[in-house]
């Protein structure tokens, strides 16, 4: 029998089985607080927590659903589609920023942290959304954007007024050097990270747009403001936060020039501030520890080796972080390179090695900052789009870590066929045009070809709900960003009615993950790391083992399993029924299968 210890306030009290632990998760899903309640320990040492077996669905509100016909998605629109989200089977919704913002960076520039963006609705609309999510036994996490604010935030409006303003020290102000900015730091949105402000003849720091001044976390008042904001939303009942570029909050003392070795990769420099972990522990103590919440840090610039510093549960900082190794495998500093399967496998193998049972991982290959999943990691051609989108779902939902799905990927939505810089909304794309094309560094053709592969706007085109005008996203004559012209074929209405759709496959795969602890917590073994086309691995816990076989190619392939292993019952396949009880698999292009392992050598712990 599978055993699991139940830990209560740090003490082992009794043992149970995996099912007991699932029952505990279920009761927590039903809305019971986890503070001071039981946490089960699985046989392989992992603690079972609701945020570990969660499947998270990211909503980018601007592009999800417009309820009032202004061409912009809004909170009422999201509430109207909660049944759609719930039917997928996901347990957590992550809402990209919904706060009052002038939208220099689509809400990642916050003017008022306690107010809802007018275009998205009102606080009543937010409360109704939260209620609707809870009624459906799901949870809501918010985007916490506190490395920087908008320059229209009251604190900054005050801060820039004079050198002795009480808010001056909320931001990072410095005198220029030799007629230029204080140092060589660069912005992720092109150019210097410093902007001169004539009112006080000093520069302020902005790692992103000049309308996104960085907060000074070394000022304890700033940290208390942040904790107040967090409590405001947690007290409303939200279930945690995705924390925007959180490892950047502690700045390198003295603000020295970064060494030339960081050229083009400044994120690795910006994460080296000495007080980062002290601040995260303080935040945990003052806020997070008091609630049953989930936290995930966006950790651009954090290496895998540094990851346990953030997520090892004994350190009391964050639950998990987004590591960028996989999602950016196909890019180098914004230039698209392409990618190879063994390199992706090597990343997952390394993650599995480096993160022990105390450190939890995230699995994601798309979000609002990256191109569409099927276009980047699958094959979005008419022939292979559906199968490859399902294959990617199989992988994301069968690897170890909390799984994140970005809106529209469950439909197999694709990159947009951009032709002209004027079709883009993203500040990063536009600033890059000025910096890279108008200076002659790249031709317009080169720049646009790269953006077609890498642009964030690929993921931000409106959700495709049906085949009516604007894909049913809005009743306005024009949506804020163009709808992908493939909406008559790729849309939610059609897919919900088609049992063989990408959407319905996601449902099945999420369902399988939910009832299969091995797919969440199980030990991972890559069976064939060097294979250029086939990704085959096992997930096992106690004596239950599952085999996942993915053909990442447009060619049929025969895959022979290692001698000790046999595929047993097929749990799910993206191309329908498939052979069982065999060690020789005949895979079609982009075929994905999840099997129970039929048998294993006695005493073997490999699987
Ligand atoms: C990361 C966010 O995901 C991205 O959309 C934003 O532009 C930057 N952080 C700045 O907030």
How is 265-328 classified by DSSP, letter by letter?
-THHHHT--TTHHHHHHHHHHHTGGGS--EEEEE-TT--TTTHHHHH-GGG-S-SEEE--TTTT
Give pLDDT, residue 160. 98
Give pLDDT, residue 3. 32
What the block records as the tokens of 370 is 């990256």
What the block records as the tokens of 154 is 């009251």
Of 217, 221, 192, residue with least CA distance to 206? 192
**Residues of the chain falling short of pLDDT 50:** 1-34, 36-37, 602-607
Residue 445 buriedness (CB in 10 A; 0-12 / 13-18 / 19+): exposed
Does residue 537's CB lie within 6 angstroms of at least one atom of ligand 1?
Answer: no
SS3 236: coil
CA-to-CA distance for 387 and 374, rounded, in angstroms?
10
pLDDT tens digits, one per residue of 125-174: 999 999 999 999 999 999 999 999 999 999 999 999 999 999 999 999 99
Give pLDDT, residue 40. 86
Are 150 and 104 contacting, i.e. CB atoms less than 8 angstroms apart?
Answer: yes
298 is an active site residue: yes
Counting from 1 in the atom list of ligand 1, the atom nearest the Cα of 456 is: 5
**What's the CA dihedral at 428, 434, 438, 441 to 10 degrees?**
-50
pLDDT tens digits, one per residue of 446-482: 999 999 999 999 999 999 999 999 999 999 999 999 9
Q: Which of 298, 330, 379, 436 is catalytic?
A: 298
Q: Strand (E) positions, 417-480? A: none
CA-to-CA distance for 517 and 24, rounded, in angstroms?
13
Give pLDDT, residue 543. 87
CA-to-CA distance for 339 and 371, rounded, in angstroms?
14
pLDDT tens digits, one per residue of 183-236: 999 999 999 999 999 999 999 999 999 999 999 999 999 999 999 999 999 999
Does residue 246's CB lie within 6 angstroms of at least one atom of ligand 1?
Answer: no
Are 145 and 97 contacting, i.e. CB atoms less than 8 angstroms apart?
Answer: yes
Q: Spell out the long-range contacts of 562-568 with Cβ–Cβ below 8 A and sequence spacing 24 or more.
A: 562/527, 564/600, 564/601, 564/604, 564/606, 565/527, 565/538, 565/597, 565/600, 565/607, 566/597, 566/598, 566/599, 567/593, 567/595, 567/597, 567/598, 568/595, 568/596, 568/597, 568/598, 568/599
Give pLDDT, residue 6. 32
* Rounded CA Rg of the chain: 24
- What is the number of other CB atoms lying within 10 angstroms of the CB of residue 173? 20
- What DSSP state is assigned to residue 259? P
3-state secondary structure 140-207: EEEEECCCECCCCCHHHHHHCCCCCCCCHHHECEECCECCECCCCCECCCCCECEEEECCCCEEEECC
CA-to-CA distance for 6 and 13, rounded, in angstroms?
6
Output the CA 107–ligand 1 centroid distance in Å: 9
What the block records as the tokens of 348 is 């997952």
Of 457, 453, 448, residue with least CA distance to 483? 457
CA-to-CA distance for 34 and 31, rounded, in angstroms?
9
Counting from 1 in the atom list of ligand 1, the atom nearest the Cα of 96 is: 3
CA-nearest residue, atom 2 of ligand 1: 244
Of 603, 601, 602, 598, residue with least CA distance to 583? 598
Strand order across the beta sheet in which 534-541 lies: 523-526, 534-541, 544-551, 592-597, 567-573
Does residue 108's CB lie within 6 angstroms of at least one atom of ligand 1?
Answer: yes
Q: How many residues does the chain have?
A: 607
Give pLDDT, residue 599. 67
Are 203 and 182 contacting, i.e. CB atoms less than 8 angstroms apart?
Answer: yes
């Amino acid at each position: 029998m599978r055993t699991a210890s139940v830990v209560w306030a740090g003490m082992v009290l009794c043992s149970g089985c995996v099912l007991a632990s699932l029952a505990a998760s279920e009761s927590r899903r039903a809305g019971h607080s986890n503070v001071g309640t039981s946490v089960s320990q699985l046989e392989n040492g992992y603690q079972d927590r609701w945020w570990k077996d969660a499947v998270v669905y990211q909503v980018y509100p601007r592009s999800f659903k417009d309820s009032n016909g202004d061409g912009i998605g809004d909170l009422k629109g999201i509430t109207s589609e909660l049944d759609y989200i719930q039917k997928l089977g996901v347990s957590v919704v992550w809402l990209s920023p919904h706060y009052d913002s002038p939208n220099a960076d689509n809400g990642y520039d916050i003017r008022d942290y306690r107010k809802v963006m007018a275009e998205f609705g009102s606080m009543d609309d937010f409360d109704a959304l939260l209620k609707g999510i809870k009624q459906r036994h799901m949870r809501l996490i918010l985007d916490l954007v506190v490395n920087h604010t908008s320059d229209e935030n009251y604190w900054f409006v005050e801060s820039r007024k004079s050198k002795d303003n009480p808010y001056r020290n909320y931001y990072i102000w410095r005198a220029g050097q030799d007629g230029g900015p204080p140092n060589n730091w660069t912005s992720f949105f092109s150019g210097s990270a410093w902007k001169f402000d004539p009112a006080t003849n000093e520069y302020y720091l902005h790692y992103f747009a000049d309308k996104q001044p960085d907060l000074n976390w070394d000022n304890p008042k700033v940290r208390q403001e942040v904790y107040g904001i967090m409590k405001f939303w947690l007290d409303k009942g939200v279930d945690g936060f995705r924390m925007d570029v959180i490892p950047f909050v502690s700045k390198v003392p003295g603000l020295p020039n970064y060494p030339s070795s960081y050229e083009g990769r400044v994120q690795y420099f910006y994460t080296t501030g000495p007080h980062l972990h002290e601040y995260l522990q303080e935040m945990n103590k003052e806020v997070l520890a008091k609630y049953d919440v989930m936290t995930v840090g966006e950790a651009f610039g954090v290496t895998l080796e540094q990851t346990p510093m953030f997520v090892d549960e004994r350190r009391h900082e964050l639950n998990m972080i987004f590591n960028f190794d996989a999602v950016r495998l196909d890019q180098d500093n914004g230039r698209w390179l392409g990618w190879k399967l063994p390199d992706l496998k090597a990343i997952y193998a390394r993650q599995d090695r480096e993160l022990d049972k105390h450190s939890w991982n995230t699995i994601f290959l798309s979000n609002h900052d990256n191109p569409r999943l099927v276009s980047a990691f699958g094959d979005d051609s008419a022939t292979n789009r559906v199968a490859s989108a399902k294959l990617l779902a199989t992988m994301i939902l069968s690897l170890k870590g909390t799984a994140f799905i970005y809106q529209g990927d469950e439909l197999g939505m694709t990159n947009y066929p951009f032709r002209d810089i004027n079709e883009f909304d993203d500040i990063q794309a536009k600033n890059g045009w000025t910096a890279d094309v108008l200076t002659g560094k790249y031709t317009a053709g080169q720049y646009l070809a790269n953006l077609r592969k890498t642009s964030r706007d690929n993921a931000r085109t409106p959700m495709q709900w049906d085949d009516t005008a604007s894909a049913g996203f809005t009743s306005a004559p024009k949506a804020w960003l163009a709808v992908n012209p493939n909406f008559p074929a790729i849309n939610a209405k059609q897919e919900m009615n088609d049992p063989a759709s990408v959407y319905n496959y996601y449902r099945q795969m999420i369902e399988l993950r939910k009832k299969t602890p091995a797919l969440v917590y199980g030990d991972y073994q890559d069976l064939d790391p060097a294979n250029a086309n086939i990704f085959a691995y096992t997930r096992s816990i106690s004596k239950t083992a599952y085999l996942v076989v993915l053909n990442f190619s447009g060619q049929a392939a025969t895959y022979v399993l290692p001698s000790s292993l046999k595929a047993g019952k097929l749990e799910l396949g993206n191309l329908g029924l498939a052979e069982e009880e065999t060690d020789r698999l005949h895979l079609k292009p982009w075929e994905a299968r999840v099997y129970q392992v039929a048998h294993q050598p006695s005493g073997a712990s490999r699987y």
